Amino acid sequence: MSAEIEFFFDFSSPYGYLAAESIEEIGNANQREVVWKPYLMGALFKKFNLTPLVNSPLKGSYAKRDIKRTADYLGIPFTIPEPFPVNSVSACRAYYSIVDDNPQIARKFALRIMRNYFQLNINLSDSENILKAASEEGLDVRVLSAKIENDTTKERLRFEVDKAIERGVFGSPIFIVENEMFWGTDRLDQLTKWIVSGSW
């Protein structure tokens, strides 16, 4: 298989969710493994004193309208959840507790909790909801619950967030393939063309 597609996203990012519904299809069609790399945009906002798009005085209302319109255009079920946005620390810790042993289950788990949040309004900041989603993927909830709270997992998440920021990741979704970065669900067509041709 050719070079992988790195997929950076925040679990509470609606655009990240929309990309998550499409990226595996793009990878499979082009014989590229997709490596899912959730991170915490909240850490990015804090580090650089930034404001989430939906909380921007000028852009917030438009952003919420655009998210729903984009989901409708793509044919993806979507609703603005409440509360929104939320902290995704538990979701990220759970993912990194799973992925090394079973990346396929980790991806399914990630997509499940985003669908739960953006389709069913099940709050992904609630660790009980995270564990329930894990159980539905056949994971041992007692083991996962312990891993989410251990220092090794906490350090792993800090490492992944710091590494993403060091590489210039600044939004959700961001895709990196062969050192070329693409930002946004609206860049999926460009990403696909780049994979096929290497440039244009």
Query: Which H, E and C letters describe 85-121, residue by residue?
Result: CCCCHHHHHHHHHHCCCCHHHHHHHHHHHHHHHHHHC
Which residues does the chain have with pLDDT short of 70?
A: 1
The per-type count for the chain, helices as H runs and strands as E runs, is 10, 4
Structure tokens at 153: 């997992």
User: What is the reported pLDDT for 54?
Assistant: 79
Ranges assigned E (strand) in the chain = 2-9, 32-38, 174-177, 180-183
For residues 174 and 171, what is the distance between their CA atoms, to the nearest angstrom?
6
In this structure, what CATH number is given to the domain that contains residue 58? 3.40.30.10
Q: Give how many domains the chain has, as a whole number.
A: 1
Contact 5, 191 (CB under 8 A): yes
pTM: 0.94
Contact status, residue 16 vs residue 172, Cβ threshold 8 Å = yes
Residue 50's pLDDT is: 77
Residue 60's pLDDT is 86
Domain of residue 181, residue span:
2-197
* pLDDT confidence of residue 56: 82
The predicted structure's pLDDT at residue 51:
77
The position carrying tokens 């693409």 is 182
Please say whether the beta carbons of 131 and 91 come within 8 A.
no
Nearest Cα to Cα of residue 87 among 30, 157, 138, 155: 157
